[in-house]
C-alpha cells in the first residue's frame, strides 16, 4: 500500500506533519479528516527507511527532525490590523468577481498572505468551506478578526447569491472608514506630540536646571524670601526629584482608573458624553459618529440585512455609548412599528439635517441610498473639521508650550534681577 506524506492542521490550529498509508490520495484525505485533522498537503511519498541502532542503543530514523514551535496561548497574537483586513476583503472580492470559486480564491490568498495570523485564518476558512460549511459560518468562528457587521453582510450575500457584490461593498466600507479614521488620528497626533515635548522640556528644566539656580539663590541672596512664582517652581523641582516614584505610581493609577471607568457601562456613557461636548474635539467626535452610524446602517440594509438586525449590529459597532444608546431606542421603536425619525429626534444626538434626509428616505422608499448620502456628506464634514481643528490647534499648542517654558524661565530670572539690583547698589 502506498504511503503519503501529509501536512495538516489539528483542532487547535497547530500544524502537524507525518506519513499515512492509504490506497489513494482521496482515501488518505478522508482518513485524516476522520481523525480530526484538516489536511493542507497530501502527496504520495515513500516512508523514510530506518537506520540500524548505533552504539548508544538509539534507533534514529532518517526523517528530518523538525523543531517544534512552542505556542503560548495567552501570548499568541489573535488579531490583525484593519488595513490588512481591508486588503484581504478587496482581493477576495476581485478574485470572485473575476469568476474564481470561493474556495480557489481563499487558497490563492492563503498562499500569498504575509500576515501569519490572517494566513492561518484563511487556511481554516478554506478548510471549513471545503468541508461543506458556509463562508459566513467560517467567519463567525473568528470573532476577533471578523466582527458581526462583516459576518452578517457575507451571510446576506450568500443568501442572495451576490457574495462578490457584498464583498465589494465591504471593501469600500472599510476603505472609507479607514480613511476617516486616519484623518481623525492625524488631527489628534499634533497635540499629543506637543504635549510629550512639553513634558520632556519641563522635566529637564525641573530636574537639571532649577536645582543649580536654587543653589545660586541660596548663596547670593543669603536667605532672603524668593518671589512666589520662583518658590512654586523650586518646590515643583524638589517634588519631581525626590518623589518621582510616587508621581509615576500616581500617573499609573490614573491610567488604570480611567480604563476601569471606560470599561464600566456608566463610565463609558459619561466619557462619551464628555467627548461629544468637549471643546474643539466635540464637533469632530459627533460628525465622525454620525458618519459611522449612517454608513454602517446604509451598507447593511443595502446588502440585504433586515433593518432590525442591521440596527443591532450598528449599535454594537458604533464606537460611542451615547450614539449606541440612541440606536437601541431606534431599534425598539422600529420593532413596535414606528418610523426611525421620531426616536432620532428624541435622542438629541442627530442634527436636524440628518433627520430630514432620513425622513425623505423613508417616505420615498430609498432609505439605504439616503443613509449612504448622509455618510458621504459627513465624511466631507469630518475632513473640514480635521483641517479646521489642525489649523486651530497649532497656535494653541505653541502658546501652551511657550507658557509652560516661559513661566519656568521667568521664575528663575526674577531673583536674578534682585541680585543684579543689589550688586549695583
| Tens-place pLDDT, residues 229-267 | 999 999 999 998 888 899 889 999 999 999 998 888 888
Please give the average per-residue pLDDT across 209-237, as a whole number.
Answer: 86
Alpha helices in 161-280 (DSSP H): 163-204, 210-221, 228-242, 244-263, 265-277
Domain 162-425 has CATH 1.20.81.30: yes
Alpha helices in 303-366 (DSSP H): 307-316, 321-335, 341-347, 352-364
pTM score, two decimals? 0.66
Greatest C-alpha distance within the chain? 112
**CB distance 8 to 40 below 8 Å:** yes
399 burial (CB, 10 Å; 0-12 / 13-18 / 19+) is exposed
pLDDT value, residue 24 = 80
Task: Lowest mean pLDDT of 64-68, 196-200, 213-217, 356-360, name the range.
Answer: 64-68
pLDDT value, residue 357 = 92
pLDDT value, residue 82 = 86
Q: Is pLDDT at 156 greater than 60 in this prediction?
A: yes
**CB distance 109 to 122 below 8 Å:** yes
- Which residues lie below 8 Å from residue 6, measured CB to CB, with a gap of 6+? 17, 18, 19, 20, 28, 32, 39, 41, 42, 43
Q: Is pLDDT at 121 greater than 90 in this prediction?
A: yes
Rounded to whole angstroms, the Cα distance separating 206 from 232 reads: 11
pLDDT value, residue 176 = 83
**CB distance 295 to 175 below 8 Å:** no
Q: Is pLDDT at 75 greater than 70 in this prediction?
A: no
Rounded to whole angstroms, the Cα distance separating 273 from 267 reads: 10
**CB distance 183 to 381 below 8 Å:** no
Instruction: Please report which helix (H) or strand (E) contains residue 414, including its range.
Output: helix 367-424
Grid coordinates given for 420: 543684579
Long-range pairs for 129-136: beta carbons < 8 A, 24 or more residues apart:
129/102, 129/103, 130/103, 131/33, 131/38, 134/158, 135/102, 135/163
Rounded to whole angstroms, the Cα distance separating 190 from 170 reads: 31
Phi–psi pair at 263, nearest 5 degrees:
-80, -25
Length of the chain: 425
pLDDT value, residue 119 = 92
Provide the pLDDT confidence category of residue 300 given band limits of 50, 70 and 90. confident
pLDDT value, residue 120 = 92
Residue of 142, 141, 140 lying closest to 153 (CA atoms):
140
The residue written with cell numbers 488595513 in the block is: 83
Long-range pairs for 222-227: beta carbons < 8 A, 24 or more residues apart:
224/418, 226/414, 226/415, 227/411, 227/414, 227/415
Residue of 157, 152, 177, 178 lying closest to 167 (CA atoms):
157
**CB distance 28 to 10 below 8 Å:** no
At 11-50, the pLDDT tens digits run 555 667 888 888 887 788 778 877 877 676 777 877 765 4
∠ CA 168-296-339, nearest 5°, is: 130
Provide the pLDDT confidence category of residue 70 given band limits of 50, 70 and 90. very low
Q: Is pLDDT at 173 greater than 90 in this prediction?
A: no
pLDDT value, residue 71 = 44
pLDDT value, residue 253 = 94
Rounded to whole angstroms, the Cα distance separating 255 from 274 reads: 17
**CB distance 374 to 314 below 8 Å:** no
Question: How many CA atoms lie within 13 Å of 108's alpha carbon, on the beta-carbon side?
Answer: 13
Amino acid at each position: 500500500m502506498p504511503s503519503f506524506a501529509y501536512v495538516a492542521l489539528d483542532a487547535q490550529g497547530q500544524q502537524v506533519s507525518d506519513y499515512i498509508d492509504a490506497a489513494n490520495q482521496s482515501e488518505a484525505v478522508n482518513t485524516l479528516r476522520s481523525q480530526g485533522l484538516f489536511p493542507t498537503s497530501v502527496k504520495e511519498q515513500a516512508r523514510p527507511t530506518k537506520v540500524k541502532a548505533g552504539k548508544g542503543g538509539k534507533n534514529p530514523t532518517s526523517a528530518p527532525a523538525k523543531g517544534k514551535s512552542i505556542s503560548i496561548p495567552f501570548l499568541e497574537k489573535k488579531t490583525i490590523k484593519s488595513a490588512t483586513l481591508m486588503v484581504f476583503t478587496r482581493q477576495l472580492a476581485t478574485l470572485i468577481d473575476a469568476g474564481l470559486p470561493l474556495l480557489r480564491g481563499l487558497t490563492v490568498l492563503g498562499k500569498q498572505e504575509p500576515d501569519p495570523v490572517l494566513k492561518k485564518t484563511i487556511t481554516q476558512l478554506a478548510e471549513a468551506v471545503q468541508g461543506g460549511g458556509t463562508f459566513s459560518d467560517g467567519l463567525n468562528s473568528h470573532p476577533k478578526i471578523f466582527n458581526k457587521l462583516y459576518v452578517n453582510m457575507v451571510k446576506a450575500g450568500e443568501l442572495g447569491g451576490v457574495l462578490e457584490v457584498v464583498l465589494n461593498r465591504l471593501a469600500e466600507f472599510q476603505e472609507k472608514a479607514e480613511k476617516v479614521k486616519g484623518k481623525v488620528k492625524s488631527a489628534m497626533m499634533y497635540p499629543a506630540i506637543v504635549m510629550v515635548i512639553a513634558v520632556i522640556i519641563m522635566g529637564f528644566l525641573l530636574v537639571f536646571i532649577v536645582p543649580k539656580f536654587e543653589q545660586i539663590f541660596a548663596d547670593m541672596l543669603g536667605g532672603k524670601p524668593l518671589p512666589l512664582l520662583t518658590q512654586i517652581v523650586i518646590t515643583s523641582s524638589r517634588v519631581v526629584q525626590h518623589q518621582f516614584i510616587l508621581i509615576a505610581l500616581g500617573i499609573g493609577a490614573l491610567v488604570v482608573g480611567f480604563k476601569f471607568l471606560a470599561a464600566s457601562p456608566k463610565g463609558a456613557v459619561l466619557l462619551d458624553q464628555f467627548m461629544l461636548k468637549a471643546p474643539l474635539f466635540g464637533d469632530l467626535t459627533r460628525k465622525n459618529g454620525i458618519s459611522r452610524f449612517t454608513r454602517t446602517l446604509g451598507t447593511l440594509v443595502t446588502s440585504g440585512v433586515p433593518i432590525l438586525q442591521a440596527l443591532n449590529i450598528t449599535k454594537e459597532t458604533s464606537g460611542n455609548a451615547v450614539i449606541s444608546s440612541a440606536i437601541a431606542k431606534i431599534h425598539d421603536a422600529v420593532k413596535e412599528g414606528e418610523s426611525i425619525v421620531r426616536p432620532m429626534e428624541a435622542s438629541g444626538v442627530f442634527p436636524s439635517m440628518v433627520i430630514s434626509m432620513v425622513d425623505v428616505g423613508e417616505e420615498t422608499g430609498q432609505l439605504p441610498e439616503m443613509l449612504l448620502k448622509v455618510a458621504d456628506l459627513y465624511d466631507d464634514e469630518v475632513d473640514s473639521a480635521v483641517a479646521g481643528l489642525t489649523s486651530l490647534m497649532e497656535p494653541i499648542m505653541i502658546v501652551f508650550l511657550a507658557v509652560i517654558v516661559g513661566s519656568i524661565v521667568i521664575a528663575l530670572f526674577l531673583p536674578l534681577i534682585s541680585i543684579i539690583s543689589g550688586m549695583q547698589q
